[in-house]
Structure 1
């Protein structure tokens, strides 16, 4: 029995040696096999722009680039020919920095510094830089618009910008509940506007609620002119689980529209708190939006498969659905199908690790003053994970 057992151990060890020898042989004679570990390398974030080929070349209605030069310029507005007529538009965003001070010395480790161009930022300063670039793009493409920042009353933002108003709203602004608080802040803001309109009816101001990590690259006034009957607008994409993105919500400035939008968001908030509290830090708002829309008995989800605007009645509200491809376009990150950038893109959303790309894009635009060329830079850089 002992000799038999020893013989089995010998065969097992010999078999393992053969397998190991075979593996080393494969790597020796097929060096390209190491490509299999590339996905792990791609997960490492880059501390500088990484340019790749511009996707979508040769496809119709897609931005065509030669290097960082756009070959098919679009109709992007400039301050000299931007519209100065019509109702006013205000951009509304929720912002917090999780600290009452912006003192750069609070970050005592130099490893926390991130350098973009010639400027180094602490974590807190990065957040403020993103907010300032958000405002910068609006000043360029929609110079007549206002920016309203819904913030924790305890935050010390120290922000002095023209046409920018800090609007304190009490709430829970911690990281784990920020998305919930964002919806609550939107509702509180709309409720205040309703009261103000009741006391002082007259001038109409439309509102576009957005994340602060977006770049408005074209005038958006046409939304309210081309679609005169909607109460609120949402952006959609062809995604089964999360077809709606809450990073862009437009509300017409009439009392009825503001009331309808408020009631709609209250429904979303109720679904959020009942069904998706485990996703309160992120994604829960997208899921709650989708649940409210999908719960409508006559809503045709197949309409999300085509990047075309449409209007539907949702619980008494006239909701305009705008394609993310134009109004909430995000540079794809990592592998996957990528058919380039639509030529009519108007809003670029720098989600997640794309924050460095947002700052780099503004720096590029500041030197080149050409939005189309800047979009080529974004297109060539959009598939890399950056260090923000």
Structure 2
């Protein structure tokens, strides 16, 4: 049976946006999606994952057949162009995969993570490589060509003619790319990493202590009583602090102790229990730089699945620019920059700024009004 069509992925759908056409004021941010996820009903349908597996293993292939990628921890198996490498059905032990999806499982070895630009379902294999993968040998050889010890994941990479790349590195690559397809692959990789991280810590129901099993194609877990548990996301605020004084608008950046010398960024922190995002910005700025917020503008958000944050980006104008100071604990130094000073300090190597994959970098470039080289 072929997959049912999903109108949101039809070429002429009015709901779809090209990757990079973000509705957020900041524009496209790596790891974010530009099209709504409309798969909840499919994921909840009995037999959905089993049918995807059968379609993947089937002999007849078409453009919209499911594809399988490999994810482990924060890394994904990619080809030489940094696109996630699609595993062939011949590389998988078919009966093992069929058995896995037919029985309740405590470990989320196979997850449905979304769809490609063409509408093909994407499955992520998240480990147990020697169990699922057919390496065409009776005994798995873990010695490399030079006699070095290899892990099963390295054998998989060799057989698939790919290499493992961290999703963070992939995000950095996408930030410097105009490849629309790669942006979608990054979004899918981010979902896979986020779900994989969550499953590792969700083997037991936090309310009852009962064991849980994977449900909804990897997007939830249930205990023996049928109580459903969903992935958790930790919201955080990240803020570009600005002020106008001495006739020029300036941005305040901080250097955290953990980052090392000369690495500057915007100010961030988690939202506490019972706190609004706006209140979190006010608190964090008072704590980290003694800044008093006069006005606040929301600019966009970015999922950051390392392990499970959602970064809410703001620009805050403060009323006391001459009273700012580092807290001396998290933040070691704070420094005001005009746009010209910041560009000069960055281009000369005097300071280092956040990765282009991060919302922090986008907040800084939003202040500048242009991207940095």
Tell me if TM exceeds 0.5. no
TM-score for both structures, normalised by structure 2? 0.27
Q: Judging by fraction of residues, say which structure has more strand.
A: 2
Q: Of the two, which has the highest radius of gyration?
A: 1
Structure number with greater CO (CA < 8 Å, separation at least 6) is: 1
